[in-house]
Amino acid sequence: MENIYEISRLVYLSLAYSNGNKRIINDHQTELMELLQRFQAEDTFHRAVMENIRAMELQLLEVEPQGLRLSARNGASFFATTLTDYGKMLGRTPLKAGELLCVHCAVATAFFPTESDLDAPVEDLGVIVSGDVIEILRVFAKAEETMDPEDEILHPEVRTAARRLRELPEENPDSKRAVGGNSWLELITRVLEQMVATGYLLEFREEGEEEMEYRPTPAYQSAMRTASVYVFHAFRELVAEKKMFILPGDDSRELPRSAPGEVPHV
């Protein structure tokens, strides 16, 4: 029978890796590499680790050179990111789940505007900047504002979040509150930073450019493909149907659009 300790250690260290805990990974780099090699080379050990992952309500997104990329199987899992986690990251109280959900949906829509993008080679998906996410949130907020009150395409909490977003400035000129999540840009920046820390996005800056660019990783694409999150698909459909961006000064330009994907009901 496989050593339970070694199986559990690989899952533990992979959780630390997946959550961006560099201190733990640096302290146990050699151990993690040895366990990862066993996972890839020994069928019995591989099966035992996978059983442990399933028992802990986790899912394996990718086998990466530095560790196993793990995530919670669902939002009710013990290992799912909580509002408390985001509250510590943003320093904002009270933190509303719907606002963060809208930002995450906008980020996902920027990378995966159509269903086929979830299966496309990740290197073909291109990059985004925070401004791309802001533009999608503009479209979403305006589209929700014009929806029929009886329309049920969006969960009531998401519709409430859209109204709260419209009350926030896109950018906060008060630099002292720049980490408080009190503007669209601050919320987006912190969410993107968290996604980089957990290996869902890669960040880089072109020489001579000030703005950070972000590229999706295979782990993020896999997570979005397997999660079947209804609210993401509903958000993306609503954005795709709203053909105009609302820009400062009431100027507008057409929203590029491809054929929308089918909305799964989960």
pLDDT beyond 90 at 49 = yes
Strand partners, 245: 253
Percent of the chain with pLDDT over 90: 29
Give kind and range of the element (H or E) at residue 39: helix 29-41
pLDDT greater at residue 248 or residue 146: 146
Residues 6+ apart with CB under 8 A from 215: 125, 126, 127, 201, 202, 203, 204
Predicted confidence band at 266 (pLDDT cuts at 50, 70, 90)?
very low
Q: Which amino acid is at 254?
A: E
Give the tokens for residue 1.
Answer: 């029978």
Give the tokens for residue 18.
Answer: 């997946």
Give the tokens for residue 187.
Answer: 């919320």
Q: Give the integer Cα–Cα distance in Å for 44 and 145.
A: 55
C-beta atoms surrounding 124 within 10 Å: 7
- pLDDT per residue over 86-98, tens digit each? 555 555 544 466 7
Instruction: Name residue, tokens 């980020």.
Output: 107
- pLDDT per residue over 113-152, tens digit each? 988 998 899 889 989 999 999 999 999 888 888 888 777 7
Q: Give the integer Cα–Cα distance in Å for 15 and 9.
A: 10
| DSSP assignments along 124-174, one per residue | GS--B-HHHHHHHHHHHHHHHHTS-TT--SS-HHHHHHHHHHHHS-SS---
The predicted pLDDT at position 163 comes to 87
pLDDT beyond 50 at 253 = no
Average pLDDT of every residue of the chain: 78
pLDDT beyond 80 at 22 = yes
Percent of the chain with pLDDT over 70: 75
> Are the C-beta atoms of residues 72 and 48 closer than 8 Å to each other?
no
pLDDT beyond 80 at 212 = yes
pLDDT greater at residue 228 or residue 38: 38
Q: Give the integer Cα–Cα distance in Å for 60 and 54.
A: 9
The residue-averaged pLDDT of 170-194 equals 74
**Nearest to 200, CA basis, from 33, 74, 72:** 72
pTM comes to 0.67
Give the tokens for residue 182.
Answer: 């009190």
